[in-house]
Amino acid sequence: MEKQEKSVYEILGKRIRMIVESVGISKELLREIRIRVGQPLELHTANGTLWPRKAYRIDKQDIEETLEYISRYSLYAYEEEIKQGFLTLPGGHRVGICGRSVMENGILKNIKQISALNIRIAHAVIGCSDELIPWLKDGKRLYSALFIAPPGAGKTTMLRDAVRQLSNDGSTVSIIDERSEIAGCYRGIPQQDVGVSTDVLDACPKAEGMLLMLRTMSPELIAVDEIGKEEDYKALQYVMNCGCKVLATVHGYSYEEQRQKLYMKDLVDIGLFSRYIVLQKQDRFCVKEIRDEKGKIVWESV
């Protein structure tokens, strides 16, 4: 944990770093660092939001310095990520970027004049999926599962830990880590513990990655985060029809909501997922309910 947070702090511009360090906030409680030109520094913690040294306003230089550090003086190497509006740091921390968009023929080509950053700190919580494992594996049989949760409810953390446990238990797992958030790869090497039998395809679009891994690594289980595009659903259906099990996450609040979504509806109706695990934000890593392939509640939080 210490190693991770050090890497987050060291990418902050010197003045911002001084302010964050002067707050003396418990590192485990820190969730987000928000930096906006002309505004005070904003820290989101598990206990609420803080504006340390409110009189100090972030300037352009603070953002530029932070960007230099984030990219290790190689912002050009992150053009593709910037187009998507975020960068991923070693350790899986995600930096959201906001500024002026550069369009070419109606397509977003770049973001310039960056004026705001949101650093979301990844927390690996070893063992957070302990209670879920019996629902994902029965003897040697694996079940495909869909984690449904709103932003910030810990679905990536839960997915990572489930992958770690299943992998350590002998299942061959492939992670398609489009945004480098699950395994937190740095130069292709996972920085998070994702288990001994896990292969990670980093920074690859999910749909393409799932088919590629299916062909090349023969996984028993494929893990993907935040499915949403039409091609993601098609690829999911293809790999599951090939007999490979899938652990996937999706933004949402309930099972019923998923049944109304355009592409997800089809997957739910044909019962491709054996488990639907709904998480809630009320408390971190709090499972609200678990449903079977027919949508019947098999476990519910009291």
Write out the binding residues for another protein, residues 110-139 only, by CB under 8 A. Answer: 110
Give the pairing type, strands 286-291 and 30-36.
unpaired
CB of 38 to another protein, least distance (A): 21
269 binds another protein (CB under 8 A): no
Contact flag: residue 21 with another protein (CB under 8 A): no
Closest CA to 146 of 234, 238, 246: 246
CA–CA gap between residue 223 and residue 273 (Å, rounded): 13
> Whole-number minimum distance, CB 198 to another protein, in Å?
24
**DSSP β-ladder status, 245-251 and 30-36:** unpaired
Task: Please report, as residue ranges, which positions from 85 to 104 form the binding site for another protein (by CB under 8 A).
Answer: none
Nearest-angstrom CA–CA distance, 224 and 162 = 12
For the record, the structure tokens of 43 come out as 């820290």
The answer to whether 111 and 97 are in contact (CB under 8 A) is: yes
Closest CB to another protein among 202 and 232?
202
Give the separation between CA 161 and CA 186, rounded to whole angstroms.
19
Given candidates 79, 256, 269, 300, which one binds another protein under the rule CB under 8 A? 79
Q: Is 75 in the site for another protein (CB under 8 A)?
A: yes
Q: Of 4, 8, 11, 222, which lies in the binding site for another protein, with binding defined by CB under 8 A?
A: 11
Q: Which of 140, 187, 215, 294 binds another protein (CB under 8 A)?
A: 187
Segment near another protein (CB under 8 A); pick from 66-74, 86-94, 113-121, 224-232: 66-74
Which range in 25-33, 38-46, 73-81, 270-278 contacts another protein by CB under 8 A? 73-81
With contacts defined by CB under 8 A, name the span among 33-41, 71-79, 226-234, 283-291 that binds another protein.
Answer: 71-79
- Binding to another protein by residue 72, rule CB under 8 A? yes
Residue of 20, 19, 45 whose CA lies nearest to 32: 45
| C-alpha 258, offset from chain centre | 19
Of 213, 131, 215, the C-alpha closest to 200 is: 213
C-alpha dihedral sign at 29, 50, 120, 25: negative
Which of 20, 41, 71, 252 is in the footprint of another protein by CB under 8 A? Answer: 71
Taking contact as CB under 8 A, which single stretch among the options 44-52, 69-77, 145-153, 207-215 is the one that binds another protein? Answer: 69-77
Spatial contact of 223 and 247, defined as CB atoms under 8 Å apart: yes
| Residue carrying the six token digits 């972030």 | 58
Q: Specify the residue, 28 or 79, whose C-beta has the smaller distance to another protein.
A: 79
Q: Which residues bind another protein (CB under 8 A)?
A: 10-11, 65, 68-69, 71-77, 79-80, 110, 187
